[in-house]
A and B are shown apart, each in its own frame.
Chain A
Amino acid sequence: MDLSSINPILLLASLMVAATPILLAAIGELVVERAGVLNLGVEGMMITGAVCGFIIAVATGSPWLGFVGAAIGGAMLSLLFGVLTQFLLSNQVATGLALTLFGLGLSALMGQNYLGIRAPAFPDIHVPLLGDIPVIGPIVFQHDPMVYVGLFIVAAVWWFLNRTRAGLVLRAVGENHDAAHALGYHVRQTRLLAIMFGGACAGLGGAYLSLVRVPQWTEGMTAGAGWIALAIVVFASWRPGRLLLGAYIFGGVTVLQLNLQAAGLAVPVEYLSMSPYLATIAVLVIMSAGRAPGSLGRIFHAAR
């Protein structure tokens, strides 16, 4: 084993890239759950976003348009979930699971002609001045733009939830939908918008895999990232700051174990592969002190 082959600066730099897809999907799901809806279809929305983004990026040659298409694709799929659960009052758990299966199948169908193609390049940006700082520059300021978009979304969600009236209403709807309804807030509309935001974020996360990380289309390429995003939301106690920490721990341990595998550590590969999941859940469980939104997963019926 040769640990000297691991470059700590490259390791830390790739951490942010590895964490971004999960971070994007998780921050969307966090908003959905704060509004009181449990959408287990994150995996399905992610992979639909991955294939939509890939198709549009290949067709137009623009990764940016690809990301826009991915967000729209994810949001459309989540809209299906929203109509089923909010208007037809279907069970959220069952509908979410079905959405995952549906998304996996739909994406495989849509992506049939796109196997083995490379995505258009999405160059890293080199932040002026900051990117030139030794050590910190390469780690933090020399990534592709979506890394920063992801961080911006997390910060914006925090600000929205804690500093705006619309965010307060969204939390109120998630905390006690009957009381929110009694005060005259529109529970369904609020939830539908939250669900679509969650779908769009999951779509972005999926497209980040197919356009940046891999970057090509393969069936089932999300490989459980949607599920870990769901877990991170819960273990982060539905708080954006902790969610960022959880995503980075997951990303960090992922790249570390890949590096260790490459360095030939004398531990079975299976243990290394499971380590990101164990580490993330262990850390967040230890920190966890939060409480789920009061109406999470409950069906809202306005007639009462």
Chain B
Amino acid sequence: MTETLLALEGLTKAYPGVVANRNVSFSIGRGEIHALLGENGAGKSTLVKTIYGLVKPDSGSMILNGATFAPADPGAARRAGVAMVFQHFSLFDAMTVAENIVLGMDIPPSPRAIAGEVKRVSHLYGLPLDPDRIVGDLSAGERQRVEIIRCLLQDPKLLIMDEPTSVLTPQEVDILFTTLRKLSAEGTAILYISHKLGEIAALCDTATVLRQGQVVGTCDPRQTAPREMAELMVGTVLQSPVRATRPEGPILLALRSLTAPAPQQFGTALKGIDLIVRGGEVVGIGGVAGNGQDELVAALSGEMSVDDGMVLLADVPVGRAPVNARRAAGLLCGPEERLGHAAAPDMTLTENALMTGVARKELANHGFLRWPAARDFAKEIIAAFDVRTPGPENTARSLSGGNLQKFVIGREIMQDPKVLVVNQPTWGVDAAAAAAIRQALLTLADQGVAVVVISQDLDELMEVSDRFCALTDGRLSPSRPARGLTVDEIGMMLGGAHDLEAPHLGASGSTDERLASHMKQDTRP
């Protein structure tokens, strides 16, 4: 390793009721790609916000380039050479690419010069961008390019990347990694936050693992087994889901040329989707967000009405049936957004349990609610899915992401569905809760239920699915058996990333190496 660029010494930051960072110390060398690993809530975000000047630590200090570093605001951090790409993009939808980039610079060049600069830098790093396009019209991958180029134009010494690959296709991830390796070769240090261990093993030189705000270990991710790192993150031994071989059941859900226009301006139209799901089978639908996932779920749940014959539930046409009629018939859905879609944030768990369970669990009697029964139902879910909460009278908002996700998925599972459709069932959920949810889905399939899992997490789909389809721009690929499918084949199925070009200077990392890194992503044992 070369000389130290940034050293953190004893950083501590407490919020009311929780210590986000406790005595965190580590250092990053010049040109080093340093991974910061940890579960949700481990304090990664607080730590990088401290480095970027958004959070002031209660105690501890930072040394950048041998001098004390205590940025008062992000502007000061940027001037010191620290740049950051945010997890939830800090972009302005209604503005052009050039305007967005100017907003992230402290001494902006003239508008004409910026367009030229954007073109030059984007070409140099293989990240093509048109400076005049409106950001709201760009894909997730392109939006991330805007953020990266915004950082690169400032010649950063340290580039912080917070979960950069969660919205990218495998091809886009490859391009990103090539860019990052090139930056590292030029001497830029990168602090890379992720929980995808395969990526970290492929990309990073050093990894620091945080758990509950404390550094619990430092390792070389290329030498350390992913399982070891995962257990370091979680602090316990992980259970891997068990899949039994199941007999082929009857066809429970059939989609016949499911076609629907985009429900709103930035939505995606569904184009002739054909799919058959049998009882006892898990079908995984992969694809990058915004390719029709939300619309497909809406068409299945009944939030969007389609032609009657397009959706068949056990041979009965339900395409026009409203949401509760479909629930009553046994077609249950768990949408992606926990707070606001799957659950009403400020209502209690009992009320939330009631809202989807009212038909199948008979929680209402001639329009009058049966509160004791609803409370019992909520308690059953809490007990069966190990939801950590003081009781069913707590609001949905008060639960952590993983616990609420267990609750909303559990709520559907406890209603004995015939068909269960879930969208992003483990998004933003810690590894232990994710494993529990996946196991519950597999157990459900063992009982003869037809399960459709829509996810952007390919590892997850490979783990739970029997068959895999890709959803691209509202079209569904023919399904293929999930077992034995390679990352390359999945990438081909997902399509996308057509407009990407290879970076123009000799970048390290062969294609084979990068593909291998993807295949290693199966980190859960």
Contacts and interface: CB of A to CB of B under 8 A. Distances in A.
Nearest to A182: B90
Query: Which of A171, A179, A180, A183 lies at the interface centre, i.e. has the most chain B CB atoms within 10 A of its CB?
Result: A183
Interface stretch (B22-30, B99-107, B227-235, B254-262): B99-107
Nearest to A292: B94
A169 interface: yes
A94 to B, nearest CB: 18
A168 B54 contact: no
- Which of A178, A184, A291 has the most C-beta atoms of chain B within 10 angstroms of its own C-beta? A184
Interface string B69-105: 0000111001000000010111111110001001110
A175 B75 contact: no
A165 B108 CA distance: 9
Contacts of B78: 184
A183 B94 contact: no
A169 B95 CA distance: 11
B31 interface: no
Contacts, number: 49
Which bucket holds chain A's interface residue count?
10 to 19
A293 interface: yes
Contact of A179 (B54, B89, B99): B89
Contact of B94 (A175, A182, A184): A175
A182 B92 contact: no
Given A168-B102, A168-B103, A184 B90 contact: no
A184 B89 contact: no
A171 B95 contact: yes
A45 B297 CA distance: 48
Instruction: Kindly name the residue among B90, B95, B104, B108 whose own CB sees the greatest number of chain A CB atoms within 10 A.
Output: B90
B95 A183 contact: no
A182 B86 contact: yes
B108 A184 contact: no
A91 to B, nearest CB: 15
Tell me what chain B mostly uses at the interface: helix, strand, loop, or mixed: loop
A175 B104 CA distance: 15
Interface string A274-304: 0000000000000000010110000000000
Given A182-B54, A183-B74, A169 B92 contact: no
B99 A182 contact: no
Contacts of A169: 103
A293 B90 contact: no
A169 B100 CA distance: 10
A171 B74 CA distance: 19
A183 B93 contact: no
The 6 closest A-B pairs by CB, nearest first: A184-B74, A179-B90, A175-B92, A184-B75, A182-B90, A184-B73
Interface of A: 165, 168-169, 171-172, 175-176, 178-180, 182-185, 291, 293-294
Given A165-B108, A176-B90, 13 more contacts: A165-B102, A168-B99, A171-B94, A179-B91, A179-B92, A182-B54, A183-B74, A183-B103, A184-B53, A184-B74, A184-B75, A294-B92, A294-B94
